Structure 1
Amino acid sequence: MTTFAEQTEALQVPADVQNLLFREARTANSFSSEPVTEEQVRAIYDLVKWAPTSMNTQPLRALVLRTAEAKARLLPHMAPGNRDKTEAAPLTVVLAADVDFHENIPQVFPHAPQVKDNFSDEQGRVEFSKLNSLLQVGYFIIGVRAAGLAAGPMTGFDAQGVDDEFFADKKWRSLVVVNVGKPGENPWFDRLPRLDFEQVVETL
């Protein structure tokens, strides 16, 4: 059994960065009115784009909602418990998987552009894009934390309704809605326990 100090020292980044990205980071349920800048959004993406995806396909797509008009289109599709905080957040991002990700393969996988031909089956692309996009979603949340902001990821929404509302002319499939901003008043629920190493990890 290692001590906490030994665990932090075993990692490459300093303890304060570990805490910012993981130990002290929380899912926010209220947000201040302080805006999230375009520069912050671009900086977050500049981190997220380095997430690993199979064959570098990068299927994640993001719809950034800033205006009240845009939020009004989203809110009817959110679960009742998620509507007020989504309306109040300075920025909301719909993270989606692009089923037509394969169209970009000649650009993102240039040494084997013919790989595009392996994705002719749309149903296969749906599952592939979902799995790889969810890898990128995790990186997005870490990127938000790295910007000194709080993320409020939610899966409580009508995904088909969101797709019909925003992506009718695209092959994007919504996965997670994330509120982004500085924490507001009483933003955190009580911290819930995590499973211990011995409960999760098996070494052969």
Structure 2
Amino acid sequence: MPSLSSAALEQLFLNARTHNVFRPEPIPETTLRQLYDLMKWGPTSMNCQPARLVFVTSPEAKALLAPALSAGNLEKTLAAPATVIIATDSLFHEHLPTMFPAYDARPMFAANAELAASTAFRNGTLQGAYLILAARALGLDCGPMSGFDAGKLNAAFFADGRFQANFLCNLGIGDPAGLHPRGPRLAFDEACRIV
């Protein structure tokens, strides 16, 4: 498989930034659907796909989200065209017979809540990263963040307790005027070993 072009690498990584200010242009539902249709192909263990997404776009849904946001994330999130709640499904294993037909893996997770929770969190987080890359590939800018009260958010959006919020990501066309200076990154030798 050939490497991506320099332009593609710049769009996905090298020139991509975390945006805090977005132009007030709505994201069409077709784009949100295309975003999911790209991100869902990223690998997860046993193809478990535990991420569940809520695209918060309406004023009513933003009002429901607002009380869970930290003060530093409130204004930018309410102004963003869309905010994605990346959550995990605690009962993801119910879908394994379809998603992973090699053998019946449901009992392994149904009998071990700790294994199910760690698998859901790890793989749901991976899927959140795939969402960011898919959004960038489609020309959207992203503002991933923590900075929210998970208890309040889960109560507002996932009252039955099955889904648990992991993190949030604002989406839209970023305004470069709102960018902060880019932070440094660790060098290879600071972060990596080859053994």
TM value normalised by structure 2: 0.95
**Structure 2: which amino acid aligns with 1:47?**
L
Find the partner of 1:116 among 106, 111, 136. Answer: 106
- Find the counterpart in structure 2 of residue 161 from structure 1: 152
- What RMSD in Å do the two structures reach over aligned CA positions? 1.2
Query: Following TM superposition, by how much is the alpha carbon of 1:124 offset from its aligned partner in structure 2, in angstroms?
Result: 2.6
Give 2:15's match in structure 1, choosing from 24, 42, 53: 24
Deviations 1:60-112 (A, max 9, x none): 00011111110001011101010001110111110001000000001101121
Report SS of the residue matched to 2:177.
Answer: coil
Aligned to 1:68: 59
After superposing on structure 2, the runs of 4+ consecutive aligned residues of structure 1 that deviate more than 3 Å are: none
Secondary structure of the equivalent of 1:95? strand
2:82 corresponds to which residue? 91
**For residue 69 of structure 1, what is the amino acid of its counterpart?**
E
Cα separation, 2, equivalents of 1:93 and 1:200: 30
Deviations 1:156-177 (A, max 9, x none): 0001111111101251010111
Letter in 2 for 1:58: Q
1:186 is paired with a residue whose SS is: helix
Following the alignment from structure 2 to structure 1, what is the Cα–Cα distance between the partners of residues 176 and 72? 17
Tell me which amino acid in the other structure corresponds to 1:117.
P
C-alpha separation between the residues in 1 aligned to 2:169 and 2:184? Answer: 23
What amino acid sits opposite 1:150 in the alignment?
Answer: D
Deviation at residue 122 of structure 1 after TM alignment:
2.6
> Could you say what secondary structure the match of 2:171 adopts?
strand
CA shift at 1:38, angstroms? 1.1
Q: Does 1:100 align with 2:62?
A: no
Cα deviation, 1:141-161, whole Å, max 9, x if unaligned, reads 111101101011111000111
In the TM superposition, residue 186 of structure 1 has moved relative to its aligned partner by 2.1
**What is residue 136 of structure 1 aligned with on the other side?**
127
- Amino acid paired to 1:160: G
Aligned length in residues:
193
| Structure 1 range deviating more: 179-188 or 165-174 | 179-188
2:47 partner letter: N
Distance 2:117 2:178 in 1: 35
Judge conservation of contact 1:32–1:185 (CA < 8 Å) in 2: no
Correspondence for 1:82: 73
